[in-house]
Structure 1
Amino acid sequence: MPTVFLTGFPGFLGSALVERLLDRHDDETTVTCLIQSKYRAKAEASADEIEAEQDADGRIELVEGDITDAELGLGDDYDDLQDESVEVYHLAAIYDLTMDREPGKHVNIEGTRHVLDFAEGADVDRLHYVSTVVVSGLYEGTFTEDMLQEGQLFGNYYETTKHMAEVLVQQRMDEIPTTIYRPAVAVGDSETGETQKYDGPYAFVEMLLDQGDNAVIPAPRGASNSEFNLVPRDYVVDAIGYLSGIDESEGTVYHLADPNPPTTTELIKTFGEALGKKRTLVVPYPKGIVGGLLESLSPENDLIKGGALEYQTWSASFDCSNTLEDLEGSGVECPDFEDYAGNLVEFVRENPDIDEGAMN
């Protein structure tokens, strides 16, 4: 029986993407999700829920494995699954700016190499690889979808591993039909605000919630002129769901980013308005000073961990020409941040105890 092979389930993007794949393929095609044993119970619950909602009983198959193993931890099942796979979606990665070097290397780089080997041996119709816009590193200026190795430096090891992984993918695009997706910073659903974890820009919401009607948020100098590119989960999943189903996407890189992003200052003030603040004052400081200030106040704050402060004065902007061209007429488009910011903060208010360690 033909199957679509997917890594990264039951993660933030993977769970939603499985629903789109079941819709697209006929009833004879299953979706096989490679899962870690520690997420077995969560994966089973998610699969049961999706199958019930999609009237797709038995079409999601869960196999325990490990992308850091050359045979994906599948043992004797490797060859059979390879023979049955018609498409591969590779989403699994460590998404953590503070990751340790060894697990980051094994999962993000070597894991991608092993999935590439699997896809090539399976002779799949397409490999769909989820990268990230942070492969741009500290590049200054407009980073286009055909750029990758531009001599850029990197702000943390997460950026380095994702860049190296995409280099591996692009090096094998002549042998494996491939589409690459580079999402910007993913936040909750634009309609419901739902998310699995609070990180990145949610730190601003946290700081604002801790203050009264008049809030003061420190930000590095230049935040008022620097784009903070974030996108809601439903846009990322809808875009991948559509683009992965068209012939034109083969061999293409897509920036799944906001073509009209807010500046960091605008983002903070929009969050403030959504939280009903009478006034949100963004106070500029030299980056070194604000980093020290934040660290003294909250060492674990997501605004400073792993070099996250750099994203408040992001030196790159992201051209989305391929994405906009190929999504035209599909009905899929990135909503304006100010239109869904209220839904994000309302979800945080109603769900203050989301586990920060939840998988992506």
Structure 2
Amino acid sequence: MYIFMTGGTGFLGGRLAKELIERGHRICMLARTPEKVNAQFTAEERKSIDVLPGDLTARALGADERFIDSHKGKVDLFLHMAALVKFDEELREELFETNLTGTREALRLAKLIDAPRFFHVSTAYTLGAKEIGGETLYDVSQSFLNPYEESKAHAEQAVWQSRDELDVSIFRPAIIVGDSKTGEADSKFTMYGYMRALELFKRKLERRGHSVESIRLIGSASGTSNLVPVDYVADVLLAAIEHAKAGTIYNVTNDSPPRNEMMLDYMKESLSFPHLTITETPTDTLSSVEQSFNDMVKVFNPYLNRNITFHDENTKQLLKDAGFSKLRLDQQSLRRIVNAYYQTKH
């Protein structure tokens, strides 16, 4: 199969690209800097990779007429994975440009080259402020917790509106973390971005000579973190190559997400930062040090105050059809994933 990919040099994309090549597929990969492809893939793997030098926000991703003519009718699947994953309100314009405009241009190119199928990798958090996530399209007029979620919800709408021209499927991973078996990770965002903020604050306290017995983090101790290891998400997408249904949405989520309190305990142990506690204490009772700490991690707050139930019946059926196992994430795997934070720095 000949597969066009965006995001092929990213955390999940790189992992998936290697799996696809190993299974005998050929890839055409969008790359703003083709040198990154050379650095990330072996010489043997690169024999199965064609590169389109381009940009996610350029018209048709930067493909010229020559590329379009030479690839028309030859691409079996268009796999759109590239996205900007940041939560800051001041990045709203950049998030919409990358995540929404980029998706529209990916759809444009898919149609120009007559690709029959289009997979869009979104996020489980397009559900906005809801506490129950279904495998259905969400209304973009609802409230969202940050511009990242909102931009991805609009991108899903753009994909859905193309379902009469393409066989579209949407995949919504929750919080992607390291490999459940090895702990391998190279992500600098999501949970590892949060751990980096914790470590930076710890160093700040040490430099200033602060002696503290406890620092309260505002959040829900009984809330859960819906973590999905990168190998599981890759398995879902591999299963989808042969078994995904057109016009279908797949929540790639965790039926038994760990409690925030337990995950914080693992992080405290890994970072040697025992002073942290998670509490629903009103912010006006915080000390100045605690307030400073909570300000540092405020973009992550929406993911520390909830206990969302995701329905993933479509994904379970997909895995069953392909003969893949369901997600199993035990405490040993969770500890391994948390400890992978230090691997991301070397």
Q: Same fold (TM over 0.5)?
A: yes
CA distance 1:23–1:147, shift in 2 (3 Å): same
CA distance 1:152–1:228, shift in 2 (3 Å): farther
CA distance 1:109–1:134, shift in 2 (3 Å): same
Aligned to 1:3: 2
Q: Aligned equivalents of 2:168 and 2:284: distance in 1?
A: 41
Instruction: Check whether the contact 1:207–1:217 (CA below 8 A) recurs between aligned residues.
Output: no
Runs of at least 4 residues off by over 4 Å: 208-212, 214-217, 272-281, 287-295
Among 31, 38, 52, the residue aligned to 2:27? 31
Matched, 1:97 2:96: no
Matched, 1:175 2:175: no
What SS class does the counterpart of residue 345 from structure 2 fall into? coil
Query: CA-to-partner distance for each residue in 1:75-110, whole Å, 9 max, x for gaps?
Result: 232332344212100011111112623322221111
Offset of 1:236 from its aligned partner? 0.8
Aligned to 1:230: 227
Q: Aligned equivalents of 1:194 and 1:284: distance in 2?
A: 33
Q: Choose 98-107 or 85-94, whichever is displaced more.
A: 98-107
Among 140, 150, 163, the residue aligned to 1:160? 150
- Relative to its length, the structure with more helix (as a share) is 2
Q: Choose 98-107 or 165-174, whichever is displaced more.
A: 98-107
Matched, 1:269 2:231: no
Aligned to 1:108: 99
Q: Aligned equivalents of 2:49 and 2:115: distance in 1?
A: 19
Among 237, 241, 244, the residue aligned to 2:241? 244
Instruction: Check whether the contact 1:227–1:263 (CA below 8 A) recurs between aligned residues.
Output: yes
Offset of 1:150 from its aligned partner? 7.1
Instruction: Check whether the contact 2:104–2:155 (CA below 8 A) recurs between aligned residues.
Output: yes
Q: Choose 125-134 or 312-321, whichever is displaced more.
A: 312-321
Q: Aligned equivalents of 1:294 and 1:63: distance in 2?
A: 48
Aligned to 1:78: 68
Q: How many residues align?
A: 334
Offset of 1:242 from its aligned partner? 1.2
Structure 1: 5+ residue runs without aligned partners? 355-360
RMSD: 3.1
Offset of 1:292 from its aligned partner? 7.8
Alignment of 1:344-359 (within 5 A): 344-349=337-342, 351=343, 353=345
What SS class does the counterpart of residue 175 from structure 1 fall into? coil
TM-score by length of 1: 0.81
Instruction: Check whether the contact 2:120–2:168 (CA below 8 A) recurs between aligned residues.
Output: yes
Q: Choose 105-114 or 287-296, whichever is displaced more.
A: 287-296
Offset of 1:346 from its aligned partner? 3.0
Q: Aligned equivalents of 1:73 and 1:268: distance in 2?
A: 43
Aligned to 1:358: none
Among 314, 328, 331, the residue aligned to 1:322? 314
Q: Aligned equivalents of 2:15 and 2:341: distance in 1?
A: 20
TM-score by length of 2: 0.84
- Give the counterpart letter for 1:225 in structure 2: S
Among 38, 41, 64, the residue aligned to 1:44? 38
CA distance 1:272–1:4, shift in 2 (3 Å): same
Instruction: Check whether the contact 1:216–1:280 (CA below 8 A) recurs between aligned residues.
Output: yes
Structure 2: 5+ residue runs without aligned partners? 207-211
Aligned to 1:260: 256
Matched, 1:312 2:304: yes
Query: CA-to-partner distance for each residue in 1:100-143, whole Å, 9 max, x for gaps?
Result: 2332222111111111122223332321110001111112x311
